Amino acid sequence: MGRFLSVPFIAVSLVASLAWADQNPAVEKAQAAAKAWLALTDGGSYAQSWDEAAAGFKAAVTRPGWEAALNAVRSPLGAVQNRKLKSATFTRTLPGAPDGEYVVIQFETRFEHKPAALETLTPAHGPDGSWRVSGYYIR
């Protein structure tokens, strides 16, 4: 049985058939934000990953709830062995989310104890101009 972690604003079906990344400045900035955020989770800095997330993410889950969820789901997977970008797609709409600017990013990830996982992150462009993760799903 697969493990998963989901936060609202994820629309995996939007990019399930895509295997390419848009090459525009918004997508590149969102990817950089996603990679920095993943570095926090990879390093076990779960509380800091919540601190660095988008406002909608924080509204969906408390900091202690996020830490508990990642401890339950990410920790058993072990260390990241390899992570490869599968797709990155810019969109202005996502189901259940307000209209805005989002990039849905998928990584094919190999963990120490799970050789084939798919991580989906959705950075959102905030009012301050920054890109912050608003959703994370792993299966």
Domain CATH number, residue 97:
3.10.450.100
Chain mean position to CA 93:
17
Whole-number pLDDT of residue 131: 98
Whole-number pLDDT of residue 10: 35
Looking at the structure of the chain, the number of domains it has is 1
Report the alpha-carbon distance of residue 82 to residue 92 in Å, rounded: 30
Chain segment 10-47, per-residue pLDDT in tens: 333 333 333 334 458 999 999 999 999 999 999 999 99
Phi, psi of 3 (to 5 degrees): -100, 150
Chain segment 37-85, per-residue pLDDT in tens: 999 999 999 999 999 999 999 999 999 999 999 999 999 999 999 999 9
**Short-list 6, 15, 2, 8, CA closest to 107:** 15
- Give the domain extent around 17: 5-138
Whole-number pLDDT of residue 90: 96
| Residue 38, amino acid | L
Model pTM?
0.83
**Average pLDDT of the chain, as a whole number:** 87
Chain segment 84-105, per-residue pLDDT in tens: 999 999 999 999 889 999 999 9
